């Protein structure tokens, strides 16, 4: 009943028998004559859980002595702040009863509570007749006055903490969760279920997916909603901060953020130590606790929610008709972008900036600004977006060779299909000279082996061994150059971005040509060649933090009748990918299209394709350098 609405009540009132009052706290010390004189003024009250006995800001004409049960005393400002717990023998309301002033705090029954009460007239009579009672009351009030400064200071500190932490509420004034995707329907159900329980909850997901928003929604729908919600970052945990926040959030909720950065022993101790406060946690990866889990997927995996979010952000920015304020092409572009660095918050920034740049008029593609804001005076970060193209991928090596020769650094690489294959090997430390030596000798038998139909003709598991032969069984975070690979979910059709975990496994998924190579199973998904979603991963490269993106597009026109089954599949993928390439290439600063006039599947022509890549990069060198200067 902690979240019950506060309603002032006298509870059930009963008359008293004289013999009963001899055993009551405070009254037990009185002489027989004193008891007889106040007996007519006494009444017995019974309160049920959640009933309000005294209300902050209202005056009280009755003084209560607690006979049984417990009372919570709390301040009511923007949120309830618990200041005391009272039990048998404690009394409340004496100051207001004596002075007629308003009560300074609200007093609420916890469970069933019984009190004996007397009005002002009886209290004054008793204090006049009984020296013992008068001394007891005087000492109690002096003690309260002496403690008041400390209590006021403490509560002021708590109030400041609460006010600061109300930023968790106020940040956006979160509002309702936006989105009507299948995921969002499931999320709302999970939030409602978590709100009805008291277990700790861990909300898991990437940066910016809305973990704090979900925590606030769980709190808002729970019985603790009238009490504070405060947050604490576990990354730089300090015990004194925790102690203060626990006091501030008593009976409410603490949101402990980034718990995956905390030692498990410490986290376990905190979860066990907060009896009167509920803990909600946020993390990128769920720690090994018994907490309930709410999993948040990245925005790129629920693209159908992006238009609704865009409209909501424009409405919040003051637009009267947000659906008419953004062009179809601009909306498509925002749907393509993967938002690796901030998810929903990053999308919000893009929309808000575009709204300003457009002069509050129609938002067009040219108004969109993706990626980071580079610090003045720093060198621009250069990213390579290496596209799909089977054996034509050797051209990527020629581009890299020319950039190295010209002293143009490569800071970031994203790749799809063969672009992921080449990109991973280069990001893992393989020099251009090794590519020149090895690629012309590669045979498909080194990369695939036959499997039984009908799912596919071959499996590319041997490709993992091939990759690890040159760069080892490394994870993405171990690569000298930041790298990411794109695959596609064979069921949903959504892109799956690999930027953590084992690199060789990601390359197998990114190169699994649909209908030819068996889909790669990963985290309960079946993944295929990323060419069907991001044939040239420009948006991914930009989202990884590149200021200047050099895209390498290896798509070619279909050259007559395909000479093999595999070529026919690759041609079909390229035809499907052209529109995607055209849209995404607009985000690139430079797009290189090596003049490769063959659909040859074999790697025998790798030296020729490398030369074509080098030639394309050399011809664009002036443009590349100009982009570096512009930035």
Residue 461 lies in a domain: yes
Q: What 3-state class would DSSP assign to 512?
A: coil
Residue 361 lies in a domain: yes
- Considering the domain architecture, whether residues 495 and 421 belong to the same structural domain is answered as yes
Q: Which residues contact 203 (CB under 8 A, 6 or more apart)?
A: 211, 214, 215, 280, 281, 282, 283, 293, 294, 296
Q: What 3-state class would DSSP assign to 472?
A: coil
Residue 268 lies in a domain: yes
- Considering the domain architecture, whether residues 440 and 360 belong to the same structural domain is answered as no
> What is the edge-to-edge ordering of all strands in the sheet holding 229-233?
229-233, 253-257, 278-283, 201-204, 292-295
d(CA 289, CA 204): 13
117 within 8 A of 164, measured Cβ to Cβ? no
d(CA 214, CA 212): 5
- Considering the domain architecture, whether residues 519 and 587 belong to the same structural domain is answered as yes
The reported pLDDT for the residue numbered 148 is 47
- Considering the domain architecture, whether residues 482 and 612 belong to the same structural domain is answered as yes
Taking each continuous run of H as one helix and of E as one strand, the counts in the chain are 21, 22
Q: Provide DSSP, 35-56.
A: HHHHGGG-EEEEE-TT-EEE-T
Q: Which residues contact 306 (CB under 8 A, 6 or more apart)?
A: 299, 331, 334, 335, 347
- Considering the domain architecture, whether residues 337 and 239 belong to the same structural domain is answered as no
Q: Please give the residue range of the domain that contains residue 555.
A: 382-630
- Considering the domain architecture, whether residues 358 and 457 belong to the same structural domain is answered as no
- Considering the domain architecture, whether residues 591 and 487 belong to the same structural domain is answered as yes
Q: Answer with the one of 253, 272, 297 that is the final residue of a domain.
A: 297
- Considering the domain architecture, whether residues 113 and 34 belong to the same structural domain is answered as yes
d(CA 243, CA 240): 5
- Considering the domain architecture, whether residues 619 and 498 belong to the same structural domain is answered as yes
- Considering the domain architecture, whether residues 566 and 601 belong to the same structural domain is answered as yes
246 within 8 A of 82, measured Cβ to Cβ? no
Per DSSP bridges, beta strands 201-204 and 292-295 are parallel
Residue 58 lies in a domain: yes
* Listed residue (363, 319, 487) closest to 415, CA to CA: 487
Residue 323 lies in a domain: yes
Residue 165 lies in a domain: no
> 529 an active-site residue?
yes
DSSP label at residue 326:
B
Give φ, ψ of 537 to 5 degrees: -80, 65
174 within 8 A of 213, measured Cβ to Cβ? yes
Our count of domains for the chain comes to 4
The reported pLDDT for the residue numbered 255 is 92
Residue 592 lies in a domain: yes
* Listed residue (353, 412, 363, 425) closest to 543, CA to CA: 412
Catalytically annotated residue among 190, 529, 547, 553: 529
Q: Answer with the one of 271, 297, 323 that is the final residue of a domain.
A: 297
Burial of residue 284 (number of CB atoms within 10 Å: 0-12, 13-18, 19+): middle
CATH number of the domain where residue 67 is located: 2.60.120.10
- Cis-peptide, bond into residue 362, ω within 30° of zero: no
> 180 an active-site residue?
no
- Considering the domain architecture, whether residues 405 and 534 belong to the same structural domain is answered as yes
- Considering the domain architecture, whether residues 342 and 388 belong to the same structural domain is answered as no
Q: What 3-state class would DSSP assign to 502?
A: strand
* Listed residue (117, 120, 129, 122) closest to 53, CA to CA: 117
pTM: 0.69
CATH number of the domain where residue 476 is located: 3.40.1090.10
Catalytically annotated residue among 46, 130, 222, 417: 417
Residue 163 lies in a domain: no
d(CA 12, CA 219): 33
Mean pLDDT by 10-residue block, N- to C-terminus, for the chain (631 residues)?
A: 51 84 82 85 91 89 91 77 84 83 87 91 82 73 55 49 49 72 95 95 93 92 87 88 81 92 92 85 90 93 93 87 88 91 90 89 90 78 93 94 96 96 96 94 84 70 92 95 94 88 94 84 88 90 94 74 55 60 82 82 87 96 87 50
CATH number of the domain where residue 186 is located: 3.40.50.300
Q: Provide DSSP, 84-114.
A: EEE-TT-EE-HHHHHH-PBPSSEEEEEEEEE
Q: Where would I find the beta strands (DSSP E) of 259-410?
A: 278-283, 292-295, 382-386
Token pair 């004189």 is found at 37
d(CA 558, CA 567): 10
SS in 3 state form for 246-291? Answer: HHHCCCCEEEEECHHHCCHHHHHHHHHHCCCCEEEEEECCCCCCCC
The reported pLDDT for the residue numbered 456 is 63
d(CA 511, CA 460): 8
d(CA 330, CA 321): 16
């Amino acid at each position: 009943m902690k979240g019950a609405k506060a309603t002032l009540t006298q509870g059930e009132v009963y008359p008293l028998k004289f013999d009963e009052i001899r055993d009551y706290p405070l009254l037990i010390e009185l002489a027989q004559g004193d008891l007889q004189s106040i007996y007519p003024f006494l009444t017995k009250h019974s309160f049920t859980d959640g009933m309000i006995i005294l209300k902050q800001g209202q005056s009280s004409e009755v003084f209560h002595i607690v006979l049984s049960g417990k009372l919570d005393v709390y301040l009511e400002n923007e949120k309830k702040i618990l200041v005391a717990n009272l039990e048998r023998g404690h009394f409340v309301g004496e100051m207001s009863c004596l002075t007629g002033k308003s009560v300074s705090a609200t007093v609420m029954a916890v469970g069933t509570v019984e009190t004996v009460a007397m009005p002002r007239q009886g209290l004054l009579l008793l204090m006049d007749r009984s020296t013992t009672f008068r001394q007891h009351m005087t000492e109690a009030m002096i003690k309260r006055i002496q403690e008041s400064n400390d209590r006021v200071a403490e509560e002021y500190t708590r109030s400041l903490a609460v006010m600061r932490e109300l930023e968790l509420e106020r940040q956006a004034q979160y509002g309702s969760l936006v989105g009507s995707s299948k995921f969002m329907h499931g999320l709302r159900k999970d939030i409602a279920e978590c709100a009805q329980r008291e277990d700790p909850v861990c909300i898991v997901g990437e940066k910016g997916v809305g973990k704090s928003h979900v925590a606030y929604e769980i709190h808002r729908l729970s019985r603790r909603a009238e009490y504070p919600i405060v947050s604490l970052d576990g990354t730089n945990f300090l015990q004194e901060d925790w102690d203060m926040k626990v006091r501030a959030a008593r009976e409410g909720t603490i949101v402990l953020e980034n718990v995956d950065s905390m030692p498990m022993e410490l986290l376990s101790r905190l979860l066990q130590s907060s009896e009167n406060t509920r803990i909600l946690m946020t993390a990128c990866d769920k720690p090994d606790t018994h907490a309930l889990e709410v999993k948040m997927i990245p925005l790129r995996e629920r693209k159908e929610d992006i238009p609704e979010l865009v409209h909501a952000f424009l409405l919040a920015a003051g637009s009267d008709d947000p659906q008419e304020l953004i062009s179809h092409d601009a909306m498509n572009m925002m749907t393509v972008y993967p938002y690796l660095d901030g998810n929903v918050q990053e999308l919000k920034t893009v929309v808000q900036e575009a709204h300003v740049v457009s002069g509050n008029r129609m938002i067009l593609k040219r108004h969109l600004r993706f990626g980071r804001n580079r610090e003045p005076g720093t060198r621009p970060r250069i990213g390579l977006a290496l596209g799909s193209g089977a054996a034509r991928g050797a051209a990527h090596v020629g581009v890299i060779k020319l950039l190295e020769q010209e002293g143009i650094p490569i800071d970031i690489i994203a790749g799809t299909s063969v672009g992921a294959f080449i990109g991973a090997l280069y990001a893992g430390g393989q020099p251009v000279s090794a590519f020149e030596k090895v690629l012309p000798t590669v045979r498909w038998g080194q990369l695939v082996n036959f499997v039984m139909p009908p799912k596919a003709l071959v499996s590319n598991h041997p490709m993992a061994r091939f990759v690890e032969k040159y760069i080892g069984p490394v994870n993405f975070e171990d690569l000298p150059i930041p790298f990411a690979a794109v695959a596609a979910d064979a069921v949903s059709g959504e892109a799956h971005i690999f930027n953590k975990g084992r690199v060789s496994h990601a390359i197998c998924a990114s190169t699994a040509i649909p209908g030819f190579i068996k889909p790669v199973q990963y985290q309960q998904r079946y993944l295929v060649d990323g060419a069907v979603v991001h044939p040239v991963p420009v948006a991914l490269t930009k989202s990884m933090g590149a200021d200047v993106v050099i895209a390498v597009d290896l798509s070619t026109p279909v050259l007559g009748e395909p000479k093999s089954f595999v070529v026919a599949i690759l041609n079909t993928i390229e035809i499907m990918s052209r529109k995607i390439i055209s849209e995404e290439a607009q985000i690139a600063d430079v797009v290189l299209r090596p003049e490769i006039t063959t659909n040859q599947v074999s790697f025998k022509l790798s030296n020729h394709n490398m030369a074509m890549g080098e030639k394309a990069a050399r011809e664009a060198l002036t443009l590349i350098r100009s982009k570096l200067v512009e930035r």
